[in-house]
């Protein structure tokens, strides 16, 4: 297959979906209120989903919907009607992991393309070929598949292959984990969309004959998080993914922030476009990696891409990701005549501050806040109220949907 590598971004909400597409995604993946693996990711009502599909299609882009739970009998109720609905609103594909759901979709929504979810653990060419023979148009490879293994699959099976390129990783094989079920006595089941991320918890050791006495598992002064993986980052390896046969590069993060989705998408958009524009002269730019360092993340790793990872793919020191930059404002519109912008506050900022901006085209620069006017037309010194809309006078005029940010802690 020779089509350009697709950049696929997460869309937990309508705002995240629009930002992902405006910042360079070719397609987004999202979920309805049921049948997906992110029960707490915001998700879309049916009306919102229909709006999302129309919005994306007007931009010439695509929407994929996750229907990737591993269902119990009761979960099948209403699924046939839901799959018909996805077909009727012209969703570009449904992401499915379960063979029974796959069969149901082919039966009740035969014109709805199916992408086989990574939850199906497709890790060899014969499995991929079976899915193709059953009617799948794409297989999302198991995260444990290396670039070399992907290339071998590509040689044997002519089907679209999607791979994860960036984001958080699950400690368990293709996300098949029961820790959440165990810790909640079955109330929160990870493969039905309710994972509590128990792999991020801090654990201690208790010796059987001394109940109630707990000893910390320590790597250093901070302790250790023995199940906690680093975040995947393949920004330095776009050529290997493309030349290995990837059809789509997927960014993880439906529960991440608007800022995260926009910034990560913009960085990978630049890298992918540069590869196709430059051919043999292609080189990795340090500013792409710098951009990814400005979003909330754990230390980065390439995980299984080039070998089976050892302990270096684990993050033992802390469970929470670093938050290097604060998202402080979103540009809503520009007034060229008055050289002002309409801005929505996302974190407090004030007159005199110098903020960094990131535009939908991936341009990065600095803007000095020279003045602020509130909704009553009054000049104010700061923007302290969440989601307050103000007129911003700066030394730069910025396009709509530009993100304003600053290094974390600098505004305190």
Q: 205 or 152, which is more confident?
A: 152
DSSP β-ladder status, 325-335 and 403-407:
antiparallel
Task: Work out the pLDDT band at 316, boundaries 50, 70, 90.
Answer: very low
Q: pLDDT for 352-389, tens place per residue?
A: 999 999 999 999 999 999 999 999 999 999 999 999 99
Helix (H) or strand (E) holding 350: strand 349-350
Report the predicted TM-score, pTM, of the whole model to 2 decimal places. 0.86
Do the bridges between strand 138-140 and strand 114-116 make them parallel or antiparallel, or are there none, so unpaired? parallel
- Residues of CATH 2.40.30.10 domain(s) within the chain? 325-407
DSSP secondary-structure letter at 388? -
- Beta pairing, strands 389-394 & 364-373: antiparallel
Note the pLDDT tens digit of each residue in 193-231.
566 666 666 666 776 777 777 666 665 555 555 667 788
What pLDDT was estimated at residue 176? 63
Sign of CA dihedral 38, 304, 294, 325: positive
Share of the chain above pLDDT 90, in %: 69
H or E element: which one contains 292?
A: helix 286-293
Half-sphere exposure in the Cβ direction for 94 (13 Å, CA)? 32
Is residue 177's pLDDT more than 70? no
The answer to whether 140 and 117 are in contact (CB under 8 A) is: yes
So what's the pLDDT on residue 155? 97
pLDDT for residue 322: 75
pLDDT at 1: 45
pLDDT of residue 203: 66
pLDDT tens per residue, range 248-285 = 999 998 888 999 999 999 999 999 999 999 989 999 99
Rounded CA separation 236/289 (Å) = 8
- pLDDT of res. 222: 52
d(CA 233, CA 294): 13
Question: Please, which pLDDT band fits residue 86 given cuts at 50, 70 and 90?
Answer: very high
Question: Regarding the domain with residue range 325-407, which homologous superfamily does it belong to in the CATH classification?
Answer: Translation factors (2.40.30.10)
Per-residue pLDDT, averaged over 154-169, amounts to 95
- Which residues belong to CATH 3.20.20.70 in the chain? 6-173+228-313
Domain at 6-173+228-313: CATH code: 3.20.20.70
**Residue 209: Cβ-neighbour burial (10 angstroms; 0-12, 13-18, 19+):** exposed
Higher pLDDT, 312 or 183: 183
Q: What is the structure's pLDDT at 208?
A: 72
- The CA distance from 403 to 270, in Å, is 17
């Amino acid at each position: 297959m020779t089509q350009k590598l697709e950049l696929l971004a997460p869309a937990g909400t309508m705002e995240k979906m629009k930002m992902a597409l405006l910042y360079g995604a070719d397609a987004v993946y999202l979920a309805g209120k049921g049948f997906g693996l992110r029960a707490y990711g915001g998700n879309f009502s049916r009306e919102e989903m229909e709006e999302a599909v129309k919005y994306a299609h007007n931009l010439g882009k695509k929407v994929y919907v996750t229907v990737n739970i591993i269902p119990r009998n009761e979960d099948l109720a209403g699924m046939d009607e839901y799959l018909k609905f996805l077909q009727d609103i012209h969703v570009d594909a449904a992401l499915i992991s379960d063979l029974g759901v796959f069969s149901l979709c082919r039966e009740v929504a035969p014109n709805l393309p199916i992408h086989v979810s990574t939850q199906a653990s497709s890790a060899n060419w014969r499995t991929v070929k079976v899915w193709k023979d059953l009617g799948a148009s794409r297989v999302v490879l198991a995260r444990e598949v290396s670039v070399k293994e992907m290339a071998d699959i590509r040689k044997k099976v002519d089907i679209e292959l999607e791979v994860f390129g960036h984001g958080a990783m699950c400690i368990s094989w293709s996300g098949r984990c029961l820790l959440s079920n165990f810790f909640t006595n079955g109330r929160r089941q990870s493969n039905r969309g309710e994972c509590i991320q128990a792999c991020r918890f801090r654990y201690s050791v208790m010796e059987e004959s001394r109940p109630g006495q707990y000893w910390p598992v320590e790597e250093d002064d901070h302790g250790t998080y023995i199940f906690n993986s680093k975040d995947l980052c393949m920004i330095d390896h776009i050529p290997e993914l493309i030349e290995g046969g990837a059809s789509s590069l997927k960014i993880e993060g439906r529960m991440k922030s608007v800022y995260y989705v926009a910034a990560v998408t913009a960085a990978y958009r630049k890298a992918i476009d540069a590869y196709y524009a430059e051919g043999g002269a292609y080189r990795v730019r340090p500013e792409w990696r710098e951009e990814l360092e400005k979003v909330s993340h754990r230390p980065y790793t390439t995980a299984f891409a080039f070998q089976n990872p050892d302990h270096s793919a684990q993050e033992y020191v802390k469970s929470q990701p670093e938050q290097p930059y604060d998202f402080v404002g979103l540009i809503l519109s520009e007034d060229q005549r008055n050289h002002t912008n309409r801005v929505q506050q996302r974190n407090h900022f004030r007159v005199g501050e110098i903020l960094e901006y990131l535009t939908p085209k991936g341009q990065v620069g600095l803007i000095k806040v020279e003045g602020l006017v509130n909704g009553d037309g009054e000049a104010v010194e700061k923007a302290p109220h969440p989601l307050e809309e103000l007129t911003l006078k700066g030394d730069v005029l910025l396009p709509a949907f530009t993100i304003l940010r600053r290094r974390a802690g600098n505004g305190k």
